[in-house]
Amino acid sequence: MATETADDVLSVHDLKSYFFSREGTLRAIDGLSFNLKAGKVLGIAGESGCGKSVTAQSILRILPRHGKTVSGQVLLTRDGKVTDLLALGEESSEIRRIRGKEIAMIFQEPMTSFSPVHTIGDQIIETIRLHRGLSKAQARASAIEILESVGMPHPSRTIDEYPFNLSGGMRQRAMIAMALSCNPRVLIADEPTTAVDVTIQAQVLELIRQMQAQLGMAVIMITHDLGVIAELADHVLIMYLGRGVEFGSVEQIFHNPKHPYTRGLLASIPKLQKGHTLVEPIKGAVPNPYDAPAGCPFHPRCPQFMQGTCEVTMPQVVEVEPGHWVACHLYGGEDQR
């Protein structure tokens, strides 16, 4: 989905990541493709269970137990050299070097990502020494500097605190500091505001925006909050049941959505009207991923369902306008509506 260009820093092609259990095979990612341009922000949105977080885990080769990427390509471009991350061993020295240095990640819940028995400083310093080869004293000075840059109060003292002594907002800032400590080319932020209150949410998003502009990173912002996408993203990928259903610029997606699912997501954003909050939910629920429907995965919930077509064949991805791609039978062949 989307045409590859010379300024792409990350290209994902036909990615398939499955989970295998006694219940069957769960196709968490089932043929996902997208490109991330250098210095730009790509927002990935969709309901819970659509595969957003598994996409990030697949890119970094950190899928949990029973999960496996069975096919596809994840191409990282750096200094004119293209590396397929899926061709590297999950624990190879090359992929371990790329994690943190080239591609860093901010997780949903920092408390589960930091070691509770080491100070945040120890963990940031270890990352810096591993990827930048600095001495312990140099790494500590660099860690204090990055903590200060992300707005951590009293960084020279906070660096010696344990994660459980920090508030949720401070832990999130510490995680952002650790992610940015090696100046990565790509930052993946997986629901970075889920574990903090609304006051801290705005601060975290503004911090990511400032650091992205300052460091010139490419960012993948994974969220179910379309307001966050509208505020931060340059391009948007809408996912449903492990597949990309629409891709385009933030203006195209918000002002000219094509896929019925995208339209449903936008319509479900709460609106204030005459003192009341109006919500138009998408009917039905995301299907059981162990038993995905045939044809278009959205057809059981689609208000524009076409019998004899939508439940029979998977729609092809088509470009409906320059840079705007959609996977829907409404835009395939001669029947374009």
Displacement of CA 196 from its chain's centroid (Å):
18
pLDDT at 124 > cutoff 80: yes
pLDDT confidence tier of residue 335, bands split at 50, 70 and 90: very low
Quick one: which H or E segment has residue 98? Answer: helix 93-101
Q: What residues make up the domain containing 295?
A: 250-336
- Of 161, 183, 205, the position where a domain reaches its end is 183
**What is the DSSP code string of 206-273?**
HHHHHHHHHHT-EEEEE-S-HHHHHHH-SEEEEEETTEEEEEEEHHHHHHS--SHHHHHHHHTS-EEE
Q: Does residue 128 fall inside a structural domain? A: yes
CB within 8 Å of 313: residues ≥ 6 apart: 295, 296, 329
The answer to which of 101-110, 244-253, 257-266 has the lowest mean pLDDT is 101-110
Q: Does residue 293 fall inside a structural domain? A: yes
- Of 164, 183, 202, the position where a domain reaches its end is 183
Distance CA 260, CA 266 (A): 10
pLDDT confidence tier of residue 252, bands split at 50, 70 and 90: very high
Q: Does residue 7 fall inside a structural domain? A: no
For 91, counting Cβ atoms within 10 Å of its Cβ (0-12 exposed, 13-18 middle, 19+ buried), the class is exposed
